[in-house]
Amino acid sequence: LKVGKVYLVGAGPGDPGLITVKGLACLKQADVVVYDRLVDESILNDVRPEAEKIYVGKADRLHILEQDSINQLLLEKARKGKVVVRLKGGDPFVLGRGGEEAGILTRNGIPFEVVPGVTSASAVPAYAGIPVTHRGVASSFAVITGHKASDRGEPRISWDKLATGADTLVILMGMRNLA
Amino acid sequence: LKVGKVYLVGAGPGDPGLITVKGLACLKQADVVVYDRLVDESILNDVRPEAEKIYVGKADRLHILEQDSINQLLLEKARKGKVVVRLKGGDPFVLGRGGEEAGILTRNGIPFEVVPGVTSASAVPAYAGIPVTHRGVASSFAVITGHKASDRGEPRISWDKLATGADTLVILMGMRNLA
């Protein structure tokens, strides 16, 4: 029985030019692409026409059941010997739940590789003209989920310490809880 | 008088495959490439043979005078109408002093563009199998310079608050001060 391989690939923050050379090479050789909501779907233009493209996009409320289904899908395709690209916005390991997928693949003996991506945490401020660090102004930054209220069993966020401890704060997925 | 353009490009954390598609396209069209110490110089293989490659690499102690010289170099080449790529390890705006270069270019009316890169802050832990965030374990991370002791006039780092405020801490450029 041939076992495939899963690439956990960061698509970058939206601009299709900000995927990595390695990430694009993975996409071009994929048998299956499992992708989230993307800022710009033209990033999928280089996927082979015969490859299977599976949209598992979700809004900013990610339910555990959905993640379980994605995990099962990755296992199932890899066990059929497929080269699977799990394409995620930004970086798979920066609030992208790539660690959970890596854990499932490890526990099931499926070969995988992580291809880091440009994270929106620094790239979106950069495109807005804001360096997250700047000499004399900011020598540290913190990236925090703003998604917390809808999750359970998560470690408490120490807003008081973060607010005064890190020089720049970047809050991802926070729009729903902004008020 | 024709004015050139400066691209502040993140080379990524070392693996030449982790430069972005857009960053590589900039390198291929550059007249001048101004680069720091790179983990893997093969990333320069795609630079045109007739392009000028200028090494301004420095170790982890960056002196202000050196940065001033780099700034002047960028201005001088751009004023000659050149397409200049300022190639930096990781991301130009994550402890990369890209903000200072962007400021100089702005004040001198030189067109420029920032091309974000994969930061070593998340990619190096990823390659070591460590997601900087993980559901139920870490919902925030902070990136901090470990370079502080040798700088002057910088904001104080609140280690006590950072240590207990952010779930994961990533310290860059800290080897010299490790003891």
Contact B131 A93 (CB under 8 A): yes
Helices and strands in chain A, H and E counts: 5, 7
Which residues in B lie closer than 8 A to residue A94 (C-beta atoms)?
122, 132-133, 141
SS3 B21: helix
Give the model confidence (pLDDT) of B79-125 as tens digits.
999 999 999 999 999 988 899 999 999 999 999 999 999 999 999 99
Question: Which ipTM value was assigned to this complex?
Answer: 0.91
CA B2 – CA B110 distance, rounded (Å): 11
Q: Is B161 a catalytic residue?
A: no
Tokens 């001088």 belong to B76
Tokens 């991506």 belong to A117
The answer to whether A41 and B43 are in contact (CB under 8 A) is no
CA B100 – CA B106 distance, rounded (Å): 10
Contact A93 B19 (CB under 8 A): no
pLDDT score for A1: 62
Amino acid at B142: A
Contact B139 A21 (CB under 8 A): no
Name the A residues in 43-102 with CB < 8 Å from any B CB: 91-100, 102
Closest CA to A28 of A36, A37, A20: A20
Amino acid at B52: E
Give the model confidence (pLDDT) of B8-64 as tens digits.
999 999 999 999 999 999 999 999 999 988 878 899 999 999 999 999 876 555 555
Q: What backbone phi and psi angles, to 5 degrees, belong to A62?
A: -100, 120
pLDDT score for A150: 47
Closest chain A CA to residue B123 = A116
Query: pTM of the entire structure?
Result: 0.91
Output the average pLDDT for chain A: 90
Which residues in B lie closer than 8 A to residue A97 (C-beta atoms)?
135
Which residues in A lie closer than 8 A to residue B142 (C-beta atoms)?
140-143, 162, 165-166
Closest chain A CA to residue B93 = A131
Cβ of B175: how many Cβ atoms within 10 Å? 11
Contact A135 B145 (CB under 8 A): no
Burial class for B131, CB neighbours closer than 10 Å (0-12, 13-18, 19+): buried
Q: Write out the catalytic residue numbers of A.
A: 36, 58, 173
Q: What backbone phi and psi angles, to 5 degrees, belong to B143?
A: -115, 125
| B7 or A3: which leads in pLDDT | B7
SS3 B86: strand
Interface probe for B, chosen from A15, A61, A122, A171 (most Cβ of B below 10 Å), is: A122
pLDDT score for A118: 97
Q: Could you tell me which residues are beta bridge partners of residue B143? A: A141, B170
pLDDT score for B150: 47
What is the mean predicted confidence (pLDDT) over A36-61? 86
